[in-house]
Amino acid sequence: MRRSAAVWARRRAKGCWSGCAGRRDVDHALRSLALARGVADLRDLEAAGYDDRGVPSAPFAAAVWNGLLAMEQLDLQPFEAGTETGRRRGSGLPLGVLAQVQAYTSDAAGQYEGLAHSPGCPHRRQERGVGRHDDLVTIEELLGCEGFAPCSKCGGYAVRRLTEVQIAYYRAAHRLHDLAQQVRTVSRNGSADSQQLTTALEEFTALDRASIQAWSPSREQARQWQRFVERQRRELPCMPGSV
């Protein structure tokens, strides 16, 4: 099924030029994007064909790859383990629905000489897009790749475009992580001016069950999220006159 979808996407994209200058190009690109989104592994879309020198021809206009991949890297600090050293630290939040997000890189585990590059990095090649020799890993796997050495220009990988649910969770995790940083500052300085933070944290204690379940594939991850919120509330100093 996956290969069949890839073949159809390549055939529909074959007539799409390198740019989208006119209405016809745009229509081709949109149809190609719709078909390519159904392909489980974007490495199947690597080439629409080869010339007599064996050089692969791009299967899409560059705009289609932009619709499939986000070349900007995810900021994963909220999900990294916390540490007492350093100016900033992670919050250890669960990856939730972000765990299975696809990441494409030239070298996920540091198997080859040099740095890892994203499909859009100019250090690697002129064409944008995923190649047959790229590595496909999930964000959860990428976090555990100790040998991953990313290029400083491109960040080393590109991710498949997030869904609305994944975007909502990513933003909520960053918001909660930022609040946790503020809570630590208030607690360390002994400030009693914590009402604003208490109100902000109520946004997360009041989350409906449907949102929590959509963000967390397992009950344990949902409980981990809720425990983290409650811990931040307990760490806030009591307001004068509060019980």
pLDDT category, 128, cuts 50, 70, 90?
Answer: low
The span from the CA of 24 to the CA of 225, in Å, is 48
Write the DSSP string, 178-229.
Answer: HHHHHHHHHHHHT----HHHHHHHHHHHT--HHHHHHH-SSHHHHHHHHHHH
Mean pLDDT of all residues in 121-126: 75
Q: Is the pLDDT of residue 3 over 60?
A: no
pLDDT given for residue 12 in this prediction: 43
Higher pLDDT, 79 or 192: 79
pLDDT given for residue 194 in this prediction: 77
pLDDT given for residue 78 in this prediction: 95
The span from the CA of 50 to the CA of 48, in Å, is 7
Higher pLDDT, 242 or 131: 131
- Residue 81 and residue 90 in contact, taking contact as beta carbons nearer than 8 Å: yes
The 8-class DSSP code of residue 116 comes to B
In this structure, what token pair is assigned to residue 219? 């009950």
Mean pLDDT of all residues in 32-50: 79
The span from the CA of 239 to the CA of 243, in Å, is 8
Torsional class of 54: left (φ above 0), alpha (ψ -120 to 50), beta (otherwise): left
Summarised one tens digit per residue, pLDDT across range 210-236 is 888 899 999 999 999 999 999 999 988
| DSSP β-bridge partners for residue 56 | 50
pLDDT-wise least confident of 68-77, 81-90, 136-145: 81-90
Report if pTM > 0.75: yes
Summarised one tens digit per residue, pLDDT across range 106-123 is 999 999 888 999 988 888
- Residue 59 and residue 13 in contact, taking contact as beta carbons nearer than 8 Å: yes
Summarised one tens digit per residue, pLDDT across range 164-186 is 999 999 999 999 999 999 998 88
The overall average pLDDT reported for the chain is 81
